[in-house]
A = this chain, B = another copy of it.
């Protein structure tokens, strides 16, 4: 079975955990992973939310921030609560789709690291160029390619596909027609295969 479709949104805190767990977990099961950035904004807007539910519902938000501290400690991931939340991940998502598939995981992980370990503004073109540069990727040509109408349409199409699949949060894992929501369910998704 496979591949394992890994749907993530750059603003999503719990996706940070999954981004750093999925490769060894999937490899151990012999599963290929397809990294699929999408946007939660339009999905939240469609259900009447103008902001992250973690901001709209303070008890849920307070829990999430404490939970992220605990889970990052458990996973030995660096963590700094971002001074702005949620950060706009549109530019990072477009760059991801402008990259060849093999180069996406390293870029994605570096963007999450910038947002949730270094508290950098991942909506800032200079920050994203710096990340590309640090990975030995072209910091001028790639962001230019990311502005191509075809790439923008691709991201819109991915978000529409997420809606069609019934995705309502991130991270979400889809394998063999089954959907699993949340970093907590990564192992269940892999076991399903």
A179 contacts B63, CB within 8 Å? yes
* Interface assignment of A86: CB less than 8 Å from any CB of chain B: no
Interface of A is mostly: helix
- Give the oligomeric copy count: 2
* Interface assignment of A35: CB less than 8 Å from any CB of chain B: no
A56, A59, A166, A184 interface centre (most CB from chain B within 10 Å): A59
A166 contacts B62, CB within 8 Å? yes
Please give, as numbers and ranges, the residues of chain B lying within 8 Å of A47 by CB-CB distance. Answer: 56-57
A56, A60, A63 interface centre (most CB from chain B within 10 Å): A63
Report the Cα distance A63→B60, complex, angstroms.
Answer: 20
B182 contacts A59, CB within 8 Å? no
Please give, as numbers and ranges, the residues of chain B lying within 8 Å of A169 by CB-CB distance. Answer: 60
Please give, as numbers and ranges, the residues of chain B lying within 8 Å of A167 by CB-CB distance. Answer: 59
B181 contacts A184, CB within 8 Å? no
A57 contacts B179, CB within 8 Å? no
**Cβ proximity bits A20-36 to B, threshold 8 Å, 1 near / 0 not:** 00000000000000000
* Interface assignment of A120: CB less than 8 Å from any CB of chain B: no
Contacts A184-B185, A185-B184 given; does A168 touch B60 at CB 8 Å: yes
* Interface assignment of A76: CB less than 8 Å from any CB of chain B: no
Q: Say which residue of B59, B166, B178 sits within 8 Å of A59 (CB atoms).
A: B166
Chain A interface (Cβ within 8 Å of chain B)? Answer: 47, 56-57, 59-60, 62-63, 66-67, 70, 163, 166-169, 178-179, 181-182, 184-185, 188
